[in-house]
Structure 1
Amino acid sequence: MSRLLLRYSTAVLVVLIASEAASGAVVMKAVGGEVSFLLDKPLPPPVSSICWKHKNSDGVVVKAIEWDEEDSFSIPNPRFKGITTLDNNTGQITITDLKVEHSGVYTIEINSKPLEQNFNLIIKEPVPKPVIKIEPAGNPDVVYLACEYSETIIWKNSAGETLKGSPTTFGESLTVKKNGDPKNFYTCTLDNGASSETSDRVYERDLFSGSGSGSGEIVGIVFGIILLIIAIIIAAVILYKRNKNVKERVDEVFPCIKGSYTPANTGAEMTDDKVKQDKQSADVENPNPSPTTDNTNADVENPNPSPTTDNTNADVENPNPSPTTDNTNADGKNSNPGQAC
């Protein structure tokens, strides 16, 4: 109950805050901030002196700043020196670089007579930036968001709606259910009446596994990288094959690549290679091939050849051949075979 009363009173005080506070207002400011108190009525002429006084929580009253026609401005208390100014035409006082010690009640005196107006200033330390903690709920479609603070905690979603949290020992907890929208987010705002801070957004896609397009985005990125690599490889191969300078340079740097992208042998080229190999084999087996028919085989198949077909066999059968029959012997003995014919 006391906690609720504290929050309710803080909300009421926030409504009363203004940059130039009206009389009787309770003003809450953060340390390091600035405040101005302005009278709700013009100063009654003639004005010969103005004095602002400060009363702290212990009841001690000191002069914050004063002005009179003879001595002009004066700041007798070191607590307000260098940070306090006074407008002697309107009576407005301004205090900068506020500290907790500046908290208290401020009153004003005109021509040494106090006015009924007063201002209650409360200085607080600025709130820290909250961090939302994610706690499992035992249900894959439900999680708890926790925000720790001793004063006002405000939960909101991405639609700007204010959500109701549940009080805990150190702050508040918000129950979040999966709604299938990965772009939906939640924030936690801390407010002490003097300052406020909001947490970073917590997206639903980070709260539930497989929510929305989070995994899809990852797959898309990976697929895009693969396509880019393939495109680079294709471009490199085309450049290698079409640009002679590039090919020579690559072959020098990477000799193992040389010849990897030459056109494959066609069937005709392979046939030619086979014929060449067979011919080479034949040359090895018969180093002095006869340009005409194989007479050796002919001798075996035809033991009685005609004189004009196999002269060698004819020489064997006829040891005394006529000059016109054995051309081989005639050629060997006569350097002019034409005469024999």
Structure 2
Amino acid sequence: METLWRVVLLLVVLDFTLAQNNPTYVKKGWTLTLDLRPPLADRITSILWKLNGFPMAELVETPAVSLDYYYRFEGRSTLDITTGRLEINSMTTTDSGRYTVEVNNKVHSTCYDVKVIEGVPKPMVVVKPLACGPESDQCKLTCVVENPEAEPVRYSWKGDDGDWTESGKDLIISKRNDSSVKNFTCRVQNPVSLRDSEPQENLLFEEKPEPQNNPLLEGNPAAPRLWVLVLGSVVRSLAILALLVAVVYVVWLNRETVSKLRCLCRSRKGEEDAASYVNDDYQNQL
């Protein structure tokens, strides 16, 4: 019997430790649902839910069913007499704590460590130092959230349309590594909500000169004009070549006429040479 009680006590301690390490987060104003873990196989004749050791909801069958809600939980709680499930509406931060339950006059292993937190507000990116500018080598960006009741929170950053990277609330940027990024955005999230800041302009951003594209590439505004010039030169060259071919072809077709003309020219030149010779000889005789 003593060994059995030790085992039960060990299970209770273990469950309490797991509950402390794995809290159940609830957003302020939402509904909290508490189930028996594991579900009870026997019929429930009595059940008592407690918060930090204080009774909050109780059901007793003696023999009529008596159902009572205590303190601030009256009017916003519902206890299922069949399953033992307890629902609490409009949760507030004062409802945070350790929830335990007794079923059929025995301590049940169910234990919830509940933390009621608020949703995170929209964060804001603050640039430090104030003198941060294009001449700076590096700057610090801080993701600011002004609501301690939203804890615990996690921070993530991204540049332009890149992927989110989880880090701390501060981000160090440098001209060497981040000058090509135009904007930075921070994200804050807790177990019940998530919000992004407005993009913050990168004061270290440097506009990179666009590479000169080949004007022959498609999409370049100068390409059509260049193609017109090239095409015009080709057309002119072809026209000149065609004219030369036509001249050669015409000469070839009239090659006999050209040959006769050449012979006639040679005959006339011979006659003129002969007449000149006779004239010179006659003058010499005189």
Superposition TM-score, scaled by structure 1 size:
0.44
Name the CA shift for 1:140/1:24 in 2 (closer, same or farther; >3 Å): closer
Check 1:64–1:181 CA distance in 2 against 1; reply closer, same or farther (3 A cut).
same
Q: 1:139 to 1:210 in 2, by over 3 A?
A: closer
| Cα displacement string for residues 284-334 of structure 1 (whole angstroms, at most 9, x for unaligned residues) | xxxxxxxxxxxxxxxxxxxxxxxxxxxxxxxxxxxxxxxxxxxxxxxxxxx
Alignment match, 1:63: 55
The more displaced of 195-204 and 37-46 is 195-204
Aligned equivalents of 1:40, 1:176: Cα separation in 2: 52
Once the two structures are TM-superposed, the CA of residue 194 in structure 1 deviates from its matched residue by: 5.0
CA distance in 2, matches of 1:164, 1:25: 22
Q: Map 1:153-168 onto structure 2 (within 5 A).
A: 153-157=154-158, 158-162=161-165, 164-165=167-168
Residue 133 of structure 2 contacts residue 204 of structure 2 at CA under 8 Å; is this kept in 1? no
Task: Tell me if structure 2 keeps the 8 A contact 1:29–1:121.
Answer: yes
Higher relative contact order (CA 8 A, sep 6+): 2
Q: Which has the larger radius of gyration?
A: 1
| Deviation readout 1:133-172 (Å, 9 max, x if unpaired) | 133435447543222357644132132231544xxxxx53
**Cα distance between partner residues in 2 of 1:94 and 1:192:** 23
CA contact (8 A) 1:145 1:175 kept: yes
Percent of residue pairs bearing the same amino acid type: 25
Q: In structure 1, give the amino acid aligned to 2:155.
A: I
C-alpha displacement of 1:111: 1.4
Partners of 1:208 and 1:90 lie apart in 2 by 61
Which of 200, 203, 206 matches 1:202?
200
Q: Distance in 1 between matches of 2:39 and 2:186?
A: 44
Question: What do the CA deviations read for 1:235-269 (whole angstroms, capped 9, x no partner)?
Answer: xxxxxxxxxxxxxxxxxxxxxxxxxxxxxxxxxxx
**Cα 1:124–1:161 shift into 2, 3 Å:** closer
Residue 180 of structure 1 pairs with residue 172 of structure 2: no
Query: Does the CA contact (< 8 Å) of 1:155 and 1:162 recur in 2?
Result: yes
Among candidates 29, 32, 36, match of residue 29 of structure 2: 32
Q: Deviations over 1:17-70 (max 9, x none)?
A: xxxx98984212232232212223222322212221111xxxxx3222122342
- The question of whether the paired residues in 1 share the 8 Å contact of 2:77 and 2:87 is answered with yes
Aligned residue in 1 for 2:95: 102
Richer in strand (by share): 2
Q: What one-letter code is carried by the residue in structure 2 that aligns with 1:50?
A: I
State the distance in 2 between where 1:48 and 1:163 align.
Answer: 50
SS of 2:124's equivalent in the other structure is coil
Structure 1: how far apart are the matches of 2:38 and 2:20? 10
Which ranges in structure 2 are unaligned for 5 or more consecutive residues?
A: 1-17, 210-286
Distance 1:209 1:156 in 2: 17
Aligned residues: 178
Are 1:84 and 1:96, in contact at CA under 8 Å, matched by a contact in 2?
A: yes
8 Å contact kept, 1:23–1:117: no
Which letter maps to 1:180? S
Matched, 1:145 2:178: no
